[in-house]
Amino acid sequence: MALFLLDVFGSASIGVFMRATDEFLMVPNQLPENTIRNLEKWFGIEIIKTNIGGSVLIGSLICANSYGIILPHSVGDEEIAILRRLTDVNIVVMEDSKKTAFGNLILANDYGAIVDPRLKKNEIKVISEALNVEVVPGEIAGLPYVGSLAVATNRGVLAHPLIKPEEEKLLGEILKTPVSVGTINCGIPYIGTGLIGNSHVAVAGSLTTGPELYIIGQALKVAGEK
């Protein structure tokens, strides 16, 4: 089973610290080496160590898929240089946006993206070009910070259990994958805060229960993999 449990900096909210795609996994510089070794073993992809604007909250601050990385204006030049050196994807800094938590504002995979409806049209256009996907505004459970309310891979979406039927339909159409509902870390509905994953592997916060893990495995289609 390609489904694992993890703490990061003593916290089960692992999704705020890391961002995974099918091509790479971004983690903070301060992450312990034994944790990085586990992640390398589990994911088998490039591990990129960096901070964003000096912060360890990578998962909250950036959005990424296999085509691009969306960065806040607070990112440093050296951090951008690291990403350019270690990836060959589009790297876009949202210089003209006052917003910074793009990991919370965007839910994306390699097929599409749903974004906070409060983003401006020019911001949505930049995101679409960077990630090379169709981008549409939407909500989950009537809330705008879609990136923290769900996790999307190229094989499935796990979303907040109170997602509305019309929201679920939109996610399925734009992200082109089945949508399931669940929780992480013993009942937390903010899926993005406690779960990372790609097409082959999912890692959940250490407080996630057995029944929650079962739902995650089925939703992201990693339950039968090794």
Torsions phi, psi for 43 (to 5 deg):
-90, -35
Place of tokens 């690291």: 82
| CATH number for position 17 | 3.75.10.10
pLDDT tens digits, 65-99? 999 999 999 999 999 999 999 999 999 999 989 99
Of the chain, the end-to-end C-alpha distance in Å amounts to 5
How many structural domains are present in the chain? 1
Other C-beta atoms within 10 Å of 33: how many? 7
Give the H/E segment covering residue 40. helix 33-43
Is residue 225 domain-resident? Answer: no
- How much is the pTM? 0.95
Show the domain range for 136: 3-220
Torsions phi, psi for 61 (to 5 deg):
-90, -25
Is residue 226 domain-resident? Answer: no
Per-residue pLDDT band at 223 (split at 50, 70, 90): confident
* Three-state secondary structure call for residue 14: helix
